[in-house]
Structure 1
């Protein structure tokens, strides 16, 4: 359109197309074009059938434009100046004797001069514009954009990026882009398209169809046309894929058959991949065909960038390519999967490599890869990066009965355990143990990896069901890990995380609090490195239980709270360590003088212990229950504590250490401070009377007093106990008052007399 009338009518291909009746309104995209034409360049890039032209036609009729719209329908190939420019000049209404039609600097200068005289901007739409980089037409368009600004606003519709210095305009903020992902239909638009064909289905079916077609407009339209004739549209959607006859015919004719032989081979051979880069493409297609990869990326908008040089093919186009590959060269498919698996495995892409080994029908190589990489944790779910569930299920299929390699059997055991099939897991473990024993001598690393994998699976299997068996497996893992390099172990933190968690769990139940604290703290750190939320949570709650037994109720409460906070997984009714959490909360309730809360938590703990018995926790739970009862009775504290601990079967050393904690909990639950006698000491003579009883020191006050005896300064005590200096001073004042002294040295001396140190 222009300011002057054309005597002979518009040149063919220069009129805005009529608005078709089947067009699906897409205001979310036409609004973006309306904003884009306020700047110099808008590009709409997408594959064949993505709806580029329909979108631009809708905008031209209903969108907002800063001026008249000039439309040029190109030839879809490299534009010849003698054909292209007359169309542009006619569409812009810039005809005249001073405007040459053959292109070049003269045309650009004359056309820019004509446009400069306009009062309003003009929008030029180039539909199906596919000129080659560096061609005369491309260079002239670049020059025209530069010299005709800001009057000329250009909209380019293409299947690939037009060679118009997009990077430069992108950096200056003068480029608007709509690409394949933007052009994809959403659920609302899909439903509107189906309604045009009289197809009414549920929102779930609409969403499923849109996902299967990747939002591709042509695929959705073809599906809708087929669904018109279907008695059960829902069943059609469930089966709709790239092998649909209409889809295949359309894409083969429009895309595949117009490719060169080398490009065609590249498309077909790489279709077995979920995502591809240049090196992998060359591995599958050969160096000669792989050399077309850069052109493939540039020219085929069915390939979507996936980051870091990787690309992913549009789902339906990939389906069509795979079907063509199977029909044309069926014997090549397994070999392509093997090549892909080898390359992916060598580059550390374990899940993709395993998927291709399985697709090639080689479960043995998949298992061997997993075991050689010590990646059983990804099968068991011990790491943040896990194998996809569909792969794990495939790996759980029983290997051939005559298989002689232990690796696929080990992986099958791990897969069975990951899906809760303990019986199958146990059977696979027995079979794998026999096969490992039969491995030839001289394969030390392989034997070590197999034995280590076997022990890790046993640890995971026995952790909550058979603690003694889990500790035995953990000991074996530690022994085997001693022969591995630090680099290998650091790459698999899930193995030490599980080992340390099991060891700390056992040490705590043995009453070795100091060793348990070291193991569980290290296990917590390793679990964080592995991204294992369940192990992190379990280590936190075990550390909370440990702090309870030390009498550090505030620290225990903080740890218990952390174990229940995101991003850690939420507790379920079947989690074995849930009973530990309830026991911790019960003791904290006692320490806060809330026996009712304590009894409620103890009830939850007993329920959880019925599903996952733990004799140690049962005893700690019973001790807390005894204290809750004792808190409601009268009588001397020592007697009530004695009644609470009577019959307790905790390790004797731990029981002695827990007695002051019981006193602290009982004191808090009683609601008032009591005075307790010092522990009995050796008999005293008449000339050495027993020291007077003193008010009992709290656990924290005992800790401060102990550090006084070590000649630590107030600042050093604060640092060691993670307290503020003022808090330490407050504790010191309380200690001095209770011991009836005024100086540090006197406090230490008095504490020794009372055998408090």
Structure 2
């Protein structure tokens, strides 16, 4: 490493100490004079302010990996002059701290800072020295700040216990700031509970976009904001990584292209981290770091699985000593991306024959513990596509491959073309079919091949066969539900029967299968005319779709429930379901989404029931285009019926639903005829619709109708107003606030052109709104 790089990335704030132990009688030279503020330092006032607030309490710790900018932050803070008293600074010896060197150095630093203390020449360097020093500091009227840089003694060591005792017995007259690569063994949990601990960790030390831009400008680099942001994200704000990138970018004609390629395999990054971190590890720790580097997230069990029981025993020590591992909660950790890149590169060089095995062991463990996406990724990294396919089918994760869940699986087939899959096992063929499911014609042949291979499996009732058949049925449902409802219904019925034969636990973790099955069955029952059977299926499907965060299935269930309520003549409920179906967050419509046309028809019918045939016409105008893309005879039949009802409403003709239904096509099942007659009559007999018919019939125009249509909630309030209910009683009955009811009343008065309750009721009766 060249001299300039060593200067810029040196973690030392203070002059380095000799590592050779000195005699106990000689006090080491502290050399703690305030260091000069280097020109390359990037000011970080947000962090310096946190140190200034933290030093008001007994303990502040700054923990981060090598090159995170800890020592630069210490230098910056020392120059702020915001310490509450004299500052004694000591550069420690890391893990090799000896009491006979450490405590004389502490005393020398305190003397050098101007702290008035007696001589301790006759006191042995042990617990007695710590006790006397504590007593002397506790007598002070102003606090003393002790800065310990690179303080990393082992837990329970004499040095660690001595500092704990010193903090405990100085009556808050001692304020300690620790800079370290790992958590100092100072019983931090006690100070957390008492809220006397200030912590700055790797995430806090990460550079912001503004700080990254300042560092780049030091190297004469004036780059676009998006380039700065890309570099900060690629390095995760790691100060040393940004500095190394900046040094490499000088002279680059296209810095954005350089940053796109910049990663942990950069020579400067590799050299720096190998020398500063990896080479300092024991053989066991090094093996653990290398083998776990392939994992996106790691815990103790997974580390033991991939590295072996011997190396796994060092995991707790690894977590404690390496701040490149960031806690994620519940025992999980994530390695800094650039450090992981370096480790993976070294793993390829040092243990090339073990990499595939590490990935396979990780895949097996992750699949067993329900982390299918990660397991598939590791199987593919081991270049074992067949195993990845087995995992998907075995874990019933085909829905994740087809986009039925918020979590998506990696591209399993990769360079394979589905037609080129040649195997005696059905799982790869099923995965190929899942990839093709959007193309119903192409997927048919692949599904036939998969069915043939499933039939050839031994023991037709085995768990593997059942899972393969269920996967086959799910793919058929997804491919056919918008094209061939009968085929989709058969697949859904088979899926339901297969689910009953499989253990409940794995199915509970795959609500997308339940959601798709219930949606297809409910949609089929509705179009078969059995509204009573369709309602619970669609309602349960809606709940399951919410659990799996599938916006398309959720919307599909809401649209079908809206259609169901419209067929029953419950247009207010139909309108509410239709509104829910359009509320975000929902995915955009696709050419294969049959719900779009159905939703438009429902909205048209609801508009007609509200006495707005023009709205119905506008909605129906969009239905034709939607049905042209994806035909749906049932929806088309309902759309034709609503169009005829709109003609009746617009022309003021006598309503004769029975006559209308006598001319409909084969789309209408016999069991649905009577409910549909009532629904047609209801859509022409709602209060708003009656008012519209009355105006058209007597030729009075629109002068006697409300200027604006009453909303559903305003109709509710008006109806209770006619029952002589008070404002408070209306509010209680409708579960509204009194102020909300008053707002609705004002709106009703305005729309009916009245100013009193009695006049509003009288006017509503004239317009047949009550």
Alignment TM-score, normalising by the size of structure 2: 0.81
Distance 2:122 2:369 in 1: 57
Q: Which one of the candidate residues 584, 598, 605 is aligned to 2:616?
A: 598
Match of 1:105 in 2: 127
Larger mean Cα displacement after TM superposition, 575-584 or 438-447: 438-447
Match of 1:709 in 2: none
Match of 1:309 in 2: 331
1:51-90 alignment, distance < 5 Å: 51-62=69-80, 64-90=82-108
Residues 441-484 of structure 1 show CA distances to partners (whole Å, capped at 9, x for unaligned) of 46733222212211110110111122232123223323433433
The DSSP-based 3-state class of the residue aligned with 1:519 is helix
Distance 2:664 2:366 in 1: 61
Contact 2:489-2:524 within 8 A present in 1 as well: yes
Q: State yes or no: 1:150 paired with 2:172.
A: yes
Match of 2:493 in 1: 475
Distance 1:378 1:454 in 2: 14
Distance 1:573 1:290 in 2: 51
Match of 1:581 in 2: 599
Q: State yes or no: 1:534 paired with 2:555.
A: no
Match of 2:191 in 1: 169
The DSSP-based 3-state class of the residue aligned with 1:44 is strand
1:454-603 alignment, distance < 5 Å: 454-569=472-587, 575-603=593-621
CA shift for structure 1 position 239: 0.8
Distance 1:503 1:135 in 2: 68
Match of 2:217 in 1: 195
Match of 2:698 in 1: none
Match of 2:651 in 1: 633
Distance 1:510 1:113 in 2: 89
In structure 2, do the counterparts of structure 1 residues 399 and 628 end up closer, same or farther at CA, with 3 Å as the change threshold? closer
In structure 2, do the counterparts of structure 1 residues 574 and 267 end up closer, same or farther at CA, with 3 Å as the change threshold? same
In structure 2, do the counterparts of structure 1 residues 517 and 208 end up closer, same or farther at CA, with 3 Å as the change threshold? same
Match of 2:282 in 1: 260
Distance 2:265 2:146 in 1: 39
Match of 1:741 in 2: none
1:405-424 alignment, distance < 5 Å: 405-417=425-437, 420=438
Contact 2:418-2:433 within 8 A present in 1 as well: no
Distance 1:88 1:724 in 2: 74
In structure 2, do the counterparts of structure 1 residues 489 and 81 end up closer, same or farther at CA, with 3 Å as the change threshold? closer
In structure 2, do the counterparts of structure 1 residues 603 and 49 end up closer, same or farther at CA, with 3 Å as the change threshold? same
Match of 1:387 in 2: 408
Q: Which one of the candidate residues 620, 637, 642 is aligned to 2:659?
A: 642
Distance 1:589 1:401 in 2: 52
CA shift for structure 1 position 245: 0.5
Q: State yes or no: 1:178 paired with 2:196.
A: no
Match of 2:311 in 1: 289
Distance 2:127 2:351 in 1: 51
CA shift for structure 1 position 670: 4.5
Contact 2:206-2:238 within 8 A present in 1 as well: yes
The DSSP-based 3-state class of the residue aligned with 1:209 is helix
Q: Which one of the candidate residues 652, 661, 671 is aligned to 2:691?
A: 671
Q: State yes or no: 1:354 paired with 2:371.
A: no
Match of 2:720 in 1: none
Q: State yes or no: 1:371 paired with 2:388.
A: no
Distance 1:432 1:166 in 2: 59
CA shift for structure 1 position 574: 6.2
Distance 2:66 2:652 in 1: 87
CA shift for structure 1 position 618: 1.0
In structure 2, do the counterparts of structure 1 residues 12 and 493 end up closer, same or farther at CA, with 3 Å as the change threshold? closer
The DSSP-based 3-state class of the residue aligned with 1:637 is coil
Distance 1:165 1:395 in 2: 54
Aligned residues: 665
Contact 1:541-1:559 within 8 A present in 2 as well: yes
In structure 2, do the counterparts of structure 1 residues 573 and 449 end up closer, same or farther at CA, with 3 Å as the change threshold? closer
Contact 1:15-1:72 within 8 A present in 2 as well: no
CA shift for structure 1 position 47: 0.8
Distance 2:333 2:155 in 1: 22
Residues 182-233 of structure 1 show CA distances to partners (whole Å, capped at 9, x for unaligned) of 1111211111111111112222221221122121111111111111132222
The DSSP-based 3-state class of the residue aligned with 1:150 is coil
In structure 2, do the counterparts of structure 1 residues 493 and 97 end up closer, same or farther at CA, with 3 Å as the change threshold? closer
Residues 30-58 of structure 1 show CA distances to partners (whole Å, capped at 9, x for unaligned) of 11111100100000001111111101111
Distance 1:330 1:453 in 2: 37
The DSSP-based 3-state class of the residue aligned with 1:78 is coil
Contact 1:278-1:293 within 8 A present in 2 as well: yes
In structure 2, do the counterparts of structure 1 residues 179 and 129 end up closer, same or farther at CA, with 3 Å as the change threshold? same
Distance 1:189 1:422 in 2: 53
The DSSP-based 3-state class of the residue aligned with 1:75 is strand
Distance 2:647 2:265 in 1: 73
In structure 2, do the counterparts of structure 1 residues 585 and 328 end up closer, same or farther at CA, with 3 Å as the change threshold? same
Q: Cα RMSD between the aligned structures?
A: 2.6
Residues 68-118 of structure 1 show CA distances to partners (whole Å, capped at 9, x for unaligned) of 322111222332222222222222224542466753333223323443454
Distance 1:146 1:99 in 2: 24
Q: State yes or no: 1:274 paired with 2:274.
A: no
CA shift for structure 1 position 620: 0.8
CA shift for structure 1 position 655: 2.9
Distance 1:412 1:512 in 2: 36
Residues 633-683 of structure 1 show CA distances to partners (whole Å, capped at 9, x for unaligned) of 244333x87358644553344233312222222234342688xxxxxxxxx
Distance 2:51 2:581 in 1: 50
Q: State yes or no: 1:129 paired with 2:129.
A: no
CA shift for structure 1 position 275: 1.6
Contact 1:79-1:131 within 8 A present in 2 as well: yes
Distance 2:450 2:360 in 1: 25
Match of 1:25 in 2: 43
**Which stretches in structure 2 are left out of the alignment for 5+ residues?**
1-25, 695-732, 736-770
In structure 2, do the counterparts of structure 1 residues 526 and 394 end up closer, same or farther at CA, with 3 Å as the change threshold? same
CA shift for structure 1 position 391: 4.0
In structure 2, do the counterparts of structure 1 residues 170 and 370 end up closer, same or farther at CA, with 3 Å as the change threshold? same
Match of 2:751 in 1: none
Alignment TM-score, normalising by the size of structure 1: 0.83
CA shift for structure 1 position 534: 2.0
1:435-450 alignment, distance < 5 Å: 435-441=453-459, 444-450=462-468
**Which stretches in structure 1 are left out of the alignment for 5+ residues?**
1-7, 675-722, 726-757
Contact 1:14-1:88 within 8 A present in 2 as well: no
